[in-house]
Structure 1
Amino acid sequence: MSTFTALCVSLLSLFTVGYCYVKLSRVSGAIVSQSSTYKSALLAVDGNYAQYYPECAFTGKNEAYAWVQVDLRKAYSLKSVKLYLRNDAILCLSPPYRLRQFYLDVSNSSAGTSRQRVRCYTDNTTAPATPSPVIDIPCKQTARYVIIQTTYKAPEDTDSTGPVLEICEIEVIGCNIGHYGPSCSSCGGCENCNIESGCRVTCSQNCIDRECDEYGNCSRGCKHGYWGNKCLNGCPSTCFMTVCNMSSGICNSCNAGYYGSLCHMSCSRSCAQPSCSQNGTCIGRCKPNWIGNRCDECSQNRYGPQCDQECSPVCLNGTCFSNNGSCKEGCNINFHYGKVSLNVSL
């Protein structure tokens, strides 16, 4: 039997629970503290689930803010946090009105610092309603500290001019980092170990919020400029604003001067305007001496790479081949045939 399984069985013999993750707030040598003290913070992690006045931790009165912190002494992979709030309503006394609008954060820095936290829960209860006396909060994060905090002053409170927290028990549920599931089984060293399901592939950094399924397919789509199930492909840089279809990579539209489904072909330089339609048709007119939908043909009396050379006046109807200037329909009367018909001296 593994250490975590044995610990799980041991905990089952001590507490009535419907799951068997590790209660980190009880077995990690956790240190509990609070912003100020009216009744000892230790009452919040003593394993006593009674929710009336003598059994609960209280912060001090008349303060600007109140917090209670559980320091697990190292970072763990967390699953949830369960709070048992003071609830004298079970004795036909007052419900937990002081606990309105508290929030629960987790962090790798203590409550006394301003470093980054992750918020797992915010209570939005407003008077006269009161929060549920037992709140089970999903919190799948990796963290060392669990912090319950409030600045709320209850209108019913005649004993204090500031916020007060009254918490009877805090259960922090989870496993050692790299372990998962009710028995805290090993993830075998995989890079992304989910606390509930175990190993997951590493999501591409191009996934929105780096969320993906067990196969690496991005769950919420791709960040701007990427496409594909795993968002590994970049949209062509010639797509307008680098936006393309997330399934096919086809550009929604092209930057000026490009066309085609992938915007990989250049519009003709002979278009009067720098842009063209998705099939390459010039928008508007052609530049002088050019004709055709794509402005890629010389007008009938012009030839040369730039269509800037005029067909010989001795060509019949003034027409010639655009590539070499040879008369297309023959020569006018009294002139001889050749690459370019010339006047015959009389």
Structure 2
Amino acid sequence: MNYCINCSDGCNNQTGYCNGSCLYGYYGSECNSTCPNNFYGDHCEMNCPSNCREGNGCDQHTGECTYGCNDGFWGKSCENNCNDRCESSCKQTHGGCCRCSDNCKGGHFKCDNTTGVCLDGCESGYYGKHCVDKCSSHCIGNDTVCNSTTGICPYGCEPDWYYSTCKYGCSLLTPHCAKCTQFKSKHNNKKNYSSLQTFH
């Protein structure tokens, strides 16, 4: 039987003991024992940090939490507390987290604090993944409601405003563009028709 297979520097042919350290994941004089979960060190005599992600242990040699931290902690050994504004979790490498928008439906607690994406959509009047874009004030409807994902105004635009999000004004952008000319002609025809009816 070869007892030297897990030695990093070979072994003594007479004793069968390793000359140096063991390969990663092994310990003991013959390097034939493996570290139990949640222990590290040359002889697996030290406990992994208590804030390593539960059940995943740590690096056998360094004690670093290689599989992440429990919620609320960050650092190589998960020795630091996340900032209070991160709510529950933060990036292991630098402790940062995304500040959630107050426009998330349910408030800033209702978003993924690592990406900033709102989990339940936006409060009325806002749209987009992070709910930071405001619906156009020229949407037709109560409280300038728009689609919370796309910003599209479902009931159309006020007069002299166009595009699906009602963010372009005919008089402000290009008053002679085909879109505005068509819109104005249609609008004027309606006005003329209404005027004619009042004389009958």
Query: Which band: TM-score by shorter chain?
Result: 0.3 to 0.5
State the structure with more CA Rg.
1
Structure having the larger proportion of residues in strand: 1
TM-score normalized with structure 1 length: 0.25
